Amino acid sequence: MSATTVAGRTPAVRRRSGFSDSALARIFLSPSVLVMALVAAFPIIYAVILSLYLYQGRLREGFGGLENYAEALTEPRFWDAVQATMIFTVTSVAAEFAIGLGFALIMRQTFKGRGVTRAAILVPWVIPTVIAAQLWYFMFSVTPGFVNDVLGLERFNWLGQPGWAMFSIVFADVWKTAPFVALLLLAGLQTIPDEMYESARVDGASMWQRFWYITMPLLKPAILVALLFRTVDALRMFDLAQVMTGGSFKTEPLSMLVQRFVVETPNPGLGSTFSTLTFILVLAIGVLFVRALGRDFVLSTGGE
Amino acid sequence: MKLLTRDRYRFPLAAILLVVVALVAAGCAGSSPEDGGGEEGGGELTWAIGGAEAAPGGVHQEVAKMWSEENPDTPIRIETLPDDAGEQRQQQSLELNAQGSGFDVLGMDVIWTGEYAVNGWLESLEDVRAEIEEVTIPGAFESAAWEDELWAAPYNSNAGFLYYRTDLVDEAPTTWDEAVQVGLEVGKQEGISPFVGQGAEYEGMVVNFLEYYWGAGGEIFNEDATEVLWDEEIALEAVEFMRDSVENGFYGSGFNTFLEEESRNEFQSGKAVFMRNWPYVYGLASVKKESDIAGKFDIAPLPTFTGEGTISALGGFNNAVSAFSDNKEAAKEFVVWASTNEEVQTLLGESSLPPTMASVYESLQDDPVMKLLGEVLPDAKPRPPAPEWNDISVTIQQEIFPAYNGEKDPQEAVEAVGAFLEESIQE
């Protein structure tokens, strides 16, 4: 790997005039970097600046320094939101992973009707999240009560109790994104050569042993990618909670807290504070994952 | 990439790219002319209003059509906002805060007058005050003014009704205790919920709560909002009533997730004995094809705890002119017209939306909704139209909602609300 990936030092090709390879690379990268700076870096920095000011309604009242942060970190609603976000993330990612892996293993097999099965498994993922949320809202709601009718329960208040409200949201999210995880894992599964399974079978390995000793280790990079994507997405969930419960019954995620304070109340200073704190949290978790991913990636693909 | 060089793939790829570019171009082109209500000052007006009647087929759409036919140079178009009043306010404030000219006429809930006026979002209507004042019912007129200046033209009013099933109950209850007793009995017999109302965590729940609180004799502020009159004992009584209703089953399961439309849905499909809702349901629930209870229900004033008199929350919409509109003259004419034109107000009355024009109440006396409104409106209490009302409402939501659901100690909740009211007065 090392010989081909070091830029700018390709031997025997010397530019006659103009830029060196690395300068050219920088020039070509600059439009993307500029766009990212505008679209990503600017709002983050602006939010940090806004969070340092105090607001009354939409009128700026003065420089507050870290006063907003002190208020945000002692606000019980903030810690409730952190808890709700964490519970949602852990349960939905775990469930999506388990179900997605099952789907991927099924989709990998060759059987009659495989194409149809694959398409059917993928349909939920294709529906826009907010529409899926609205659909599940109607299903779980006491009126008209589809889920209650199907399960034979009389007026069970799914969306109106702490615990079950979160369950409904997690359910809708897993229904929608397990196919996405399945796709990512299927791609990983397809890189595992069949010869490995054949030789294992010849050696007398059982199905479980083949799964645990061949599939899982070789699938690790794909698993980590899927977990990274889904975790960061779940930490930012907004529409499911907004549509299904409005944030009541301990289902208010961090992003909804931010929206309440930035748009609804409004208090741009405090809202930006929540926004920055959320950003730091998601960034920290993302970095942890990428670190774990990076190490594993390198180790499993041959070393640097 | 092989894809780009294989001849076989070039044509389909080019076709796909063309389609994508065309779609994007159509999307961009489609959105720009809509921005800004009037293009040259004599153009189209945009009326930002929400709720069930703003959707196609609703009465607001008919009113817009009437105006557009009579004023072809300045037609008006409705920008439908969400059902939930809180979300309507969000949408409007986003546009107004950006000083955008996208909305010319604002359909404002009666509680936002103070807030919008203080933020400088509205055009004063003092010059047409006399015209409007002489035909409007007093409660509605007061809700459109802030600090004695008229900022909006009253459009429709609203008060809470008790809906009850005439096939199951002989007489409407006059006290809440009676309602609970009858409701539980009949509900058990028929296997339906005794009572549905608005219990989800939003402004509607605050309205329901205030109806109990006021009905027990409580007040929030004094006349000019300089003193807090919040009574913790009475508030506790109200919260405990709600808490008990959850526990004994008076509030049907799911009550704490219902907004207006959900409770209407339950009652209309025959799954409740009593319902607290606004008058608009009457018309909709009487349509035989859509309602399972057409002809089997009636309306009555809301019960109180003492059995004497009645109290309900005064709601409604006022039309205001945006301070950032490109077409203020035409917008002003529209809001005055909608407020003082007999035909328009009668149309509202016929759709079970209480008009603000006093004379319509006399002409429509035979309509059961109008008759009950005539009884109930004089006692309908407005929520304080103070600019801080949104914050107060959110505090009440956050304290009382968990309290009545058993998630929070009611005493703590009512104390917290009292403390917040004291704070907001001081500012």
The CATH number of the domain where A272 resides is what?
1.10.3720.10
Residue B411 confidence (pLDDT) = 93
Range of the domain at A225: 69-300
Any domain includes A10: no
Interface of A with B (CB under 8 A): 57-58, 77, 141-144, 155-157, 159-160, 162, 245-248, 263-266
Residue in B201, B252, B257 closest to A141 by CB: B257
Same domain, A45 and A113: no
Structure tokens at B98: 């950006």
Asked if A142's CB is within 8 angstroms of B254's CB, the reply is yes
Residue A297 confidence (pLDDT) = 58
Nearest CA in chain A to B397: A248
Contacts A264 to B, Cβ<8 Å: 86, 90
Q: Do the Cβ atoms of B425 and B226 come closer than 8 Å?
A: yes
Whether B201 has its CB under 8 Å from any CB of chain A: the answer is yes
**Among B257, B267, B389, B394, the residue to mutate for chain A (most A Cβ within 10 A):** B257
Same domain, A26 and A144: no
Same domain, A30 and A97: no
B303-342 per-position pLDDT tens digit: 998 888 888 899 899 999 999 999 999 999 999 999 999 9
Task: Please count the residue pairs, one from chain A and one from chain B, whose beta carbons lie less than 8 angstroms apart.
Answer: 57
Asked if B255's CB is within 8 angstroms of A143's CB, the reply is no
Q: pLDDT: is B138 or A243 the higher one?
A: A243
Side-chain half-sphere exposure of A240, counting CA atoms within 13 A = 31
Residue B52 confidence (pLDDT) = 79
On average, the pLDDT of chain A sits at 86
Residue in B119, B256, B271 closest to A160 by CB: B256
B372-413 per-position pLDDT tens digit: 888 888 888 888 878 888 889 989 999 999 999 988 999 999
Residue in A143, A162, A248 closest to B200 by CB: A248
Same domain, A21 and A161: no
Asked if B265's CB is within 8 angstroms of A144's CB, the reply is yes
Any domain includes A91: yes
A211-227 per-position pLDDT tens digit: 888 888 888 888 988 99
Shortest alpha-carbon distance between residue B256 and chain A (Å) = 6
Output the CA angle B41-B45-B48, nearest 5 degrees: 140
Q: Do the Cβ atoms of B353 and B279 come closer than 8 Å?
A: yes
Any domain includes A232: yes
Same domain, A53 and A73: no
Any domain includes A180: yes
Q: With bands split at pLDDT 50, 70 and 90, how would you rate the model's confidence at A10?
A: low
Any domain includes A238: yes
Q: Residue A161 pLDDT more than 90?
A: no
What is the count of structural domains for chain A? 2
Same domain, A202 and A291: yes
Residue B40 confidence (pLDDT) = 45
Same domain, A266 and A208: yes
Encode chain A in three state secondary structure.
Answer: CHHHHCCCCCCCCCCCCCCCHHHHHHHHHHHHHHHHHHHHHHHHHHHHHHHCEEEECCEEEEECCCHHHHHHHHCHHHHHHHHHHHHHHHHHHHHHHHHHHHHHHHHHCCCCCHHHHHHHHHHHHHCCHHHHHHHHHHHHCCCCCHHHHHHCCCCCCHHHCCCHHHHHHHHHHHHHHHHHHHHHHHHHHCCCCHHHHHHHHHCCCCHHHHHHHHHHHHHHHHHHHHHHHHHHHHHCCCHHHHHHCCCCCCCCCHHHHHHHHHHHCCCHHHHHHHHHHHHHHHHHHHHHHHHHHHHHHHHHCCCC
Shortest alpha-carbon distance between residue A29 and chain B (Å) = 19
Sign of the CA dihedral with A141 first, then A145, A150, and A151 last: positive
Same domain, A34 and A146: no
Interval A232-243 mean pLDDT: 93
Side-chain half-sphere exposure of B406, counting CA atoms within 13 A = 10
- Domains of chain B, start order: 45-158+314-382 (3.40.190.10), 161-312+385-426 (3.40.190.10)
Same domain, A121 and A266: yes
Q: Residue A52 pLDDT more than 70?
A: yes
Q: pLDDT: is B385 or A135 the higher one?
A: A135
Report how far apart the first and last C-alpha atoms of chain B are (Å, whole number).
66
Residue B39 confidence (pLDDT) = 44
Residue B163 confidence (pLDDT) = 94
Distance CA A237, CA A96 (A): 15
Contacts A159 to B, Cβ<8 Å: 254, 257
Tens place of pLDDT per residue across chain B (427 aa):
555 566 677 777 777 787 777 777 766 655 444 444 444 445 899 999 988 788 888 899 999 999 999 999 999 999 999 888 888 998 998 899 889 889 999 999 998 998 899 889 999 999 999 999 999 988 888 889 888 899 999 999 989 999 999 999 999 999 999 999 999 999 999 889 999 999 999 889 999 999 999 988 888 887 777 788 899 999 999 999 999 999 999 998 889 999 888 999 999 999 999 999 999 899 888 888 888 888 899 999 999 988 888 888 998 999 999 999 999 999 999 999 999 999 999 999 888 888 998 888 888 888 888 888 888 888 888 888 788 888 899 899 999 999 999 889 999 999 999 999 988 887 6
Q: Residue A278 pLDDT more than 60?
A: yes
A58-75 per-position pLDDT tens digit: 677 788 888 889 999 998
Asked if A264's CB is within 8 angstroms of B86's CB, the reply is yes
Q: Residue A302 pLDDT more than 60?
A: no
Residue in B202, B255, B398 closest to A246 by CB: B202
Any domain includes A159: yes
Residue A258 confidence (pLDDT) = 92
Any domain includes A182: yes
Residue in A58, A77, A160 closest to B97 by CB: A58
**C-alpha to C-alpha distances, B348 to A120, B132, B228, B345, nearest whole angstrom:** 49, 17, 36, 5
Q: Do the Cβ atoms of B143 and B382 come closer than 8 Å?
A: yes
Could you tell me the pTM of the whole model?
0.81
Any domain includes A6: no
